[in-house]
Amino acid sequence: MGVRIRERDGAWWIFIHHNKQRKAKRVGPGEAGKKAAKDAARLIQARLALGQAAFDEPPQPEPKADLATVGSYLKAWLKEHAQVNCKPSTYAEYSWCIEHILLPEFGTLPLDALTVAHVRQIIAKYTEAGKSRATIRNYLAPLRAAFTQAEDDGLVSKNPAAKLGKLLKHTKGSAKDIHPLTRQETATLLDTAKAKTPLISPLLFCAVRTGLRRGELIGLQWGDIDLAGRSLLVRRAVVRGVVGPPKSGKPRRVDLSAGLCAELTALRAEHEREAEADGEALKLDAPVFRSPRGFRWDEHNLDKLWRETLKASGIRKVRLHDLRHTFASQLIEQGAYPKYIQEQLGHASITMTMDTYGHLFPNRNRGLVDGLDSLDFEGRNATPAQLTDGACEGASLSARKVVRPTGLEPVTPRSVVWCSIH
């Protein structure tokens, strides 16, 4: 006689071997299923010992009332899974999306009542509001991740947000939907910042010259700046007030232009004078770009000053992140190699760089096909000797220097055939 419990296919089962007969009963998924299976196994063991039937009352997992709605499940998933397994910045992003986007939309729905149609509705709503495909994808990312967990636990039969790529296929916005500033717009913006919002003028200049993301600019410290070597090291990013690693997960070194190096040198000297006035030395962990109170910038306050600068400049409405695209587009204009641009921006792959900026590279290859016509012309007018020895100097070897002109090749070990050049 034996009663055992085991997890199989995402659920807990009871297996009974009694009087040469075997039976199995599915109980349920998750911790609730495991607890119910253990309790039922003890009861069955006692019944079998008394000669009673094993399953007079089919065991049922204890219901979890706090997982009855989408909202309660998302909150539980955020605390038990996302907070433990995600980067701090990702957790902060998920928290914001759940609180401000998902709970108002789906919070009161029963967990198993959420459908693909509901997901389509929220996509349509934010598409109409002018949100990009990437933004909507970010809004729905925690929903997809949470329901993947719910599906694995057997709480829902299908993840309605599983195929976001297909659902977002026909929404506007793409990898090429970027808005870099022109040279004139860049100059106007930087001049306006110096005159109207000098607090963020160095930060904006750094953004245009390095392509750093907003969180990376906020997280930059003086210990990351190598003025002598004209470079900086991106080691952290601040997202929704949470300090974490850069988006790529690893540090990267970014080159500094001579103009930016001069700007940062002047800014450091200013910070050193202020620290001296307080009887202290400038600390390496002090923020490079700081608020009026001397702390690193709050994202909300920085965005507010950005909008003020943009309005005062009179240029078209763009995002602070578009200064990153401006940096990339100006590098392309200067003839930079795609690999260098990828390294400076911290993209995970060259594919990401080319998917985003490939359309900005000038088409310098079209003239190459015209060169093929000249090769044909040279071939038609070549002498027999030129055709034999090769028309391009150093491009090929004479055939007689490569293989023997006649005869059979020596036997190749373990070869089943012999080859000839004829």
Integer Cα distance of 201 and 206 in angstroms: 9
Within 8 A by CB and 6+ apart from 142, the residues are 74, 77, 78, 82, 94, 97, 98, 102
Helix 299-313 and helix 183-196: axis angle, to 10°?
Answer: 110
Whether the CB-CB separation of 61 and 33 falls below 8 Å is answered with yes
Task: Please check whether residue 115 is in contact with residue 92, taking contact to mean a CB–CB distance below 8 angstroms.
Answer: no
pLDDT of residue 401: 46
Beta bridge partners of 237: 244
Nearest to 94 by CA among 77, 115, 114: 77
pLDDT value at residue 199 = 94
Q: Give the integer Cα–Cα distance in Å for 288 and 303.
A: 17
In terms of DSSP bridges, do strands 11-18 and 21-28 run parallel, antiparallel, or are they unpaired?
Answer: antiparallel
Beta-carbon contacts of 358 under 8 Å, excluding residues fewer than 6 positions away, are none
* SS3 annotation, 184-231: HHHHHHHHHHHHHCCCCHHHHHHHHHHCCCHHHHHHCEHHHEECCCCE
**Looking at residue 13, what DSSP letter applies?**
E
The answer for residues whose C-beta is within 8 angstroms of residue 370's C-beta and 6 or more apart is none
Burial class (CB in 10 A: 0-12, 13-18, 19+), 9: exposed
Contacts of 366 (CB under 8 A, 6+ apart): none
Residues 6+ apart with CB under 8 A from 148: 159, 162
Identity at 226, one-letter amino acid code: D
Give me 55's structure tokens: 């399953």
C-beta separation of 204 from 230 below 8 A: no
In which residue are the tokens 């299923």 written?
A: 33
Tell me the two tokens of residue 353.
């760089």
Tokens of 269: 């000297």
Nearest-angstrom CA–CA distance, 35 and 37 = 5
Cα 92 versus chain centre, distance: 15
Q: Residue 129 is which amino acid?
A: A
Q: At what angle do helices 322-333 and 338-345 cross, to 10 degrees?
A: 150
**Which residue has 């793409």 as its token pair?**
174
| Amino acid present at 63 | P
The enclosing H or E element of 409 equals none
Tens-level pLDDT at each residue, the chain (422 residues): 578 888 877 778 888 776 767 777 777 777 777 888 888 788 777 777 666 655 544 444 444 444 479 999 999 999 988 888 888 888 888 999 999 999 999 999 999 899 998 998 888 898 888 888 888 889 999 999 999 988 888 888 889 988 877 767 655 544 456 899 999 999 999 999 999 999 999 999 999 999 999 999 999 999 999 999 999 999 999 988 888 889 888 999 999 999 999 999 999 999 999 999 999 999 999 999 999 988 999 999 999 999 999 999 999 999 999 999 999 999 999 999 999 999 999 998 999 899 888 888 877 666 667 777 776 666 666 665 555 554 444 444 444 444 455 555 555 555 444 444 44
Per the CB < 8 A criterion, the answer to whether 181 and 318 are in contact is: yes
Question: What CA–CA distance (Å, rounded) separates 80 from 77?
Answer: 5
How would DSSP label each residue in 294-312?
SSBPPHHHHHHHHHHHHHH
